[in-house]
Chains A and B, each alone.
Chain A
Amino acid sequence: MKTYLRVLLLLFFCPAWSLGQGMVSESAVKAAFIYNFIKFVEWPANTLPTGHIRLCLVGHDDKLQVAIEQMVGKEAQGRILEIANVQRSDLPGNCQVLVISSNEDRVAEILRMVGEAPKLTISDAADFIDDHGMIGLNSVDHKVQFDINVNSARRAHLKISAQLLKLARRVVQ
């Protein structure tokens, strides 16, 4: 609960998500975005387990991992958020959200392995959506923004809410 409040505080004290003030780290903002993305995505029927949504983190980004772990236990789509650290070998694995850190060098291979399984793919790697990733995070001048590849999501039978789409910097159909 404490974590939740803190995240909310983080969210509302930085109206423009300007990180220049150095109050909140870029990783924390990214973790909050990732958590919020889950709310605007609709999975195919019966693909979500009851009770929880599992988020799998691929690659080694300790800062992001720490930030995401802050979100554990929060609710999204009426389910508790869980986190699991997975290796490339385990893919595609039993998780509904796949976050790939930017220091993972085989992004395209990972995405190929996931294929058209109903998993929301998020990464802060450059040109992620052009590699058929679904939501790509990037920060320009310490401001976190995101791009969406609707096509990739459609192929995985995921629907991304128009509310999220209108906030995206770039949308690939």
Chain B
Amino acid sequence: MRRLLSLPIRYKLMLLAGFVLTGAMLSVISFSIFNEYHERRYAIEERAGMIGGVLAANVMSAVLFSDASDASKTLHSLINVPDIRAARIMTSVGNTLATYTTSRHEFSPPDWAMPARFEIRVPIMSENAKIGTLFLVVSNASLWQALRTNAQRTTVLMALLMLLALAAASKVGRYITDPIEILAKTARHISSTRNYQLRVTNYADDELGHLIDDFNTMLEEIELRDTQLETNIEQRTVQLRQAKEQAETANRAKSEFLSRMSHELRTPLNSILGFSQVMAGDPALDEDHRDSTNEIFKAGRHLLELVNEVLDLAKIESGRLQLSMETVPLEDVVMECFALIEPLAIKRNLNIERPNMSHMAVRADRIRLKEALLNLISNAVKYNRDHGHIRLSIESRLEHRLRIVVSDSGHGIPEDKLDDIFLPFNRLNAEFSDIEGTGIGLTITRRLIETMGGTVGVHSVVDKGSSFWIELPASTVDEVTQPEQVKKRLHARPGLQCTVLYVEDNPANVKLMVRIFRSLPYIQLITANTPEIGLQLARANPPALVMLDINLPGMDGYELLGRIRAESWGKNLPAIAISANAMQCDIERGNSAGFEAYLTKPVDLNQLNDTLVGLLDPGSMATEEMT
């Protein structure tokens, strides 16, 4: 049935015609044979009956007079009638008067399956009385012969007709299937090549013709729609390109504005900061003026921080932040952060708890992680209550991640405000308090950590405290690269008051350095973000030491060092190069150029500590374990 269904329509039509014709042919042949059999049978019977009647009349006298020889003679006249194979005359009492046969077996019982002969009986009458019976055995041979011939002729004729009809069906089928085939072929071609310009030629006005017309109309519509669609797409593309160009132009303008603003703002701010520090360091200044100068310095520093952080945020949001991902041992970073925070914590009598974090490391950008962590820890200090505590803990999380939790014992944050604290400039009314802050620290922290593939979160209970956490992919610490556990810091020596000038254009590095030096109260750090400002500041108040970045705008670190060495106060001034160029050739060039030390970024706190101590006070280098 499946094979039949998958036959082409033309063959199905031919099959149908074949079945119908065969049925019709068989019916006609059977009917004709049946008809002819009956007609011929009737004719034979009639003829035999007539012959029998004549014979019966002729043998009547012989029967009456029991003349067997005459009866036999009369029966023998049947020899001229080949259909009648045998005859017998029986008297009324059952005696056989005479018989006639053409062969011996003519009286064998009739074969009903294929009756070759049949028997008829004719009464022999005399004076209205039956005096005997004439039996005739009539052969059907001629009947069957005629039927056979007829059947053969009819079959041959019907077969010829059937062939003709099949040929006609095939021809007519072509009229139906050819258009369908063309239609199907075109549809297949169109669906594979998507060429909607093709059309099917129509040559008939029947249903198939209409189908082809409709198909062509559909194709026209699709083509039209395609053209419209293409036009639309082109228009949209042009519009989109224009919009994109506008957006890019706007973005470029914004970036340009931000960088220009930051530069424009930071240049005067550096002057303000630098000179206010220089002024504060003047021993001739009286107490009132010193306080005022300090206020100018603090306000300026706050403004600089704000500018730097806004710039940072803009950088992060525009995706221009460049990160160098590496394995960062947690111990180092945490130690460095706490080293920076410790003086403030001590001032507020805060108790600090932290676990052993050796062998724990995460995958992150070292400087940016430190910035984020420092942000959380300094928040914990700033928003804590006096005599409170800060606890740092590390938790292992699913999917091989580490969570660094910084908990404080501050006032906590109401739950409905928790979502807002990561939004920029949202300080939860802290702006009305005396706590210093920019309001975008947490925003930057979250963006930084997310850019590094981590997450930041908070849990807080009002009046009990808050827990901020950073979650980052864990990494394994390479034992060899693990830095020494010995921590050093400058020995606090009253009376030694010195100034260090740091020339660095990168605000993040400046910020970090400022934090580092906040823990060294006897060293006054003056920062400059351009070489020119640096030179001016140094001329106004020669420092005890300079730290120079190598890649500076306008003039590189080597040139700046050359200028400093050209000044009278700068001939023997200790100079430290701080650069991201960490190649051996860079370090050698730095040493040969006259730098006393060459430190590579990121700056290792201990190394910086040692270098500073060595350069500032070579005689009194002291080491002690950090708590």
Query: Nearest CB to that of A17 among chain B residues?
Result: B66
User: Does A114 make an interface contact (CB < 8 A)?
Assistant: no
The answer to whether A39 touches B64, judged by C-beta atoms less than 8 angstroms apart, is yes
Contact with B along A1-26 (1 / 0, CB 8 A): 00000001101111111000000000
B127 touches A76 (CB 8 A): yes
**Which residues of B from 127 to 154 have beta carbons under 8 Å from A?**
127, 131-132
Contact of B61 among A15, A16, A17, A167 (CB under 8 A): A167
The segment from B92-100, B567-575, B585-593 that touches chain A is B92-100
Q: Does B344 contact A (CB under 8 A)?
A: no
Whole-angstrom distance between the alpha carbons of A75 and B58 in the complex?
21
Asked if A36 is an interface residue, CB under 8 A from chain B, the answer is: yes
Which residues of B574-612 have CB atoms within 8 Å of chain A's CB atoms?
none
Establish whether residues B93 and A9, one from each chain, have CB atoms under 8 Å apart when the complex forms.
yes
B127 touches A75 (CB 8 A): yes
- Which B residues are in CB contact (< 8 Å) with A77? 127
Let me know if A43 is at the binding interface, CB within 8 A: no
Residues of A within 8 A of B70 (CB): 166-167
Name which residue of chain B comes closest to A146, CB basis. Answer: B65
Counting CB contacts under 8 A, is B291 at the interface? no
A16 in contact with B64 given A8-B93, A76-B127 (CB within 8 Å)? no
Within 71-106 of A, Cβ neighbours of B (below 8 Å) are at 75-78
Bound complex: CA A33 to CA B61 (Å): 11
> In whole angstroms, how far apart are the Cα atoms of A14 and B62 in the complex?
13
B97 to chain A, nearest CB (A): 6
Q: Let me know if A40 and B61 touch, CB within 8 A.
A: yes
B239 on interface, CB distance cutoff 8 Å: no
Residues of A within 8 A of B132 (CB): 12
- A163 at the A/B interface (Cβ < 8 Å)? yes
Chain A nearest CB, measured from B92 CB (Å): 6
Given A163-B58, A166-B70, A167-B70, does the pair A11, B64 have CB atoms closer than 8 Å? yes
Is A113 engaged at the interface, CB distance under 8 Å to the other chain? no
- Whether B64 lies near A15 (C-beta < 8 A) is no
Cα distance A55–B65 in the bound complex, in angstroms: 20
Query: How many A residues touch B, CB cutoff 8 Å?
Result: 22
Interface size on B, residues (CB 8 A): 19
Assuming the contacts A33-B65, A167-B62, asked whether A15 and B92 have C-beta atoms less than 8 A apart, the reply is no
- Whether A108 is near chain B, meaning CB under 8 Å from some CB there, is no
The reply on A117 being an interface residue by CB < 8 A is: no
Residues of B with C-beta under 8 A to A161: 61
Q: Contact check, B127 vs A13: say whether CB atoms are below 8 A apart.
A: no
- Say yes or no: B65 contacts A15, CB within 8 Å: no
**Complex contacts, B60 vs chain A, CB 8 Å:** 163
| 8 Å CB contact of B64 from A13, A36, A75 | A36
Are B65 and A14 in contact, CB atoms less than 8 angstroms apart? Answer: no
The answer, among B62, B67, B93, B126, for a CB contact under 8 Å with A12, is B93
- A15 and B127 contacting across the interface, CB-CB below 8 Å: no
- Interface presence of A172 (CB below 8 A): no
Enumerate A100-149 residues with CB–CB distance to B below 8 Å.
none
B390 CB to closest chain A CB (Å) equals: 154
Q: Which residues in chain A, 13-56, are within 8 Å of chain B measured between CB atoms? A: 13-17, 33, 36, 39-40
Interface: B91 (CB within 8 A) = yes
Residue interface mask B277-309, A partner, CB < 8 A = 1: 000000000000000000000000000000000
Contact call B68/A16, Cβ cutoff below 8 A? yes
Q: Name which residue of chain B comes closest to A165, CB basis.
A: B61
* In contact, A12 and B92 (Cβ under 8 angstroms): yes
In the assembled complex, how far is the CB of residue B307 from the closest CB belonging to chain A, in whole angstroms? Answer: 158
Q: Could you say which residues of chain B place their CB within 8 Å of the CB of A163?
A: 58, 60-61
CB A103 to nearest CB in B, in angstroms, measures: 25
Task: Give the distance to chain A from B246, nearest Cβ to Cβ, in Å.
Answer: 138
Judge whether B66 and A16 touch: CB under 8 Å. yes
| A30, B235: Cα distance in complex, Å | 139
CA separation between A78 and B91, bound complex, in Å? Answer: 22
Are A39 and B126 in touch, CB under 8 angstroms? yes
From known contacts A39-B126, A166-B70, infer whether A12 and B91 are also in contact, taking CB-CB under 8 Å: yes
A66 interface residue per 8 A CB criterion: no
Least Cβ–Cβ distance between B59 and chain A, in angstroms: 9
Centre residue among B62, B65, B67, B93 by max chain A CB count within 10 A: B65
Q: How far is the CA of A11 from the CA of B384 in the complex (A)?
A: 161
Q: Report the minimal beta-carbon distance from A116 to chain B, rounded to whole angstroms.
A: 26
Contact string against A for B residues 48-65, beta-carbon threshold 8 Å, 1 for contact and 0 otherwise = 000000000010111011
A166 and B77 alpha carbons, distance in the complex (Å): 15
Contacts of B95 in A (CB 8 A): 12-13, 15
CB < 8 Å neighbour of A13 from B93, B126, B131:
B93
Residue of B nearest to A40 (CB): B61
Shortest CB–CB separation between residue A148 and chain B, in angstroms?
Answer: 13
**Closest approach, in angstroms, between the C-beta of A105 and any C-beta of chain B?**
29
Nearest Cβ in chain A — how far from B174, in angstroms?
A: 78
Q: Which B residue sits closest to A75, measured CB to CB?
A: B127
* Cα(A16)–Cα(B92), bound, Å: 15
State whether A14 touches B126 (Cβ < 8 A): no
Contacts of A33 in B (CB 8 A): 65
> Once bound together, how far apart are the Cα atoms of A36 and B70, in whole Å?
16
* B65 and A36 form a contact (CB under 8 A): yes
A15 to B60, CA, bound (A): 14
Instruction: Please name 18 further chain A to chain B contacts, defined as beta carbons within 8 Å, in addition to the given A8-B92, A12-B95, A17-B65, sorted by A numbering.
Output: A9-B93, A11-B64, A12-B66, A12-B91, A12-B132, A13-B93, A15-B95, A15-B97, A16-B66, A17-B66, A39-B64, A39-B126, A39-B127, A76-B127, A161-B61, A166-B61, A167-B65, A167-B67
Nearest 6 pairs of A and B residues by beta carbon: A163-B61, A12-B91, A12-B93, A36-B64, A167-B67, A15-B66
Could you write out 9 A-B pairs with CB less than 8 Å apart? A9-B93, A11-B91, A13-B93, A15-B91, A16-B68, A39-B126, A39-B127, A40-B61, A167-B65
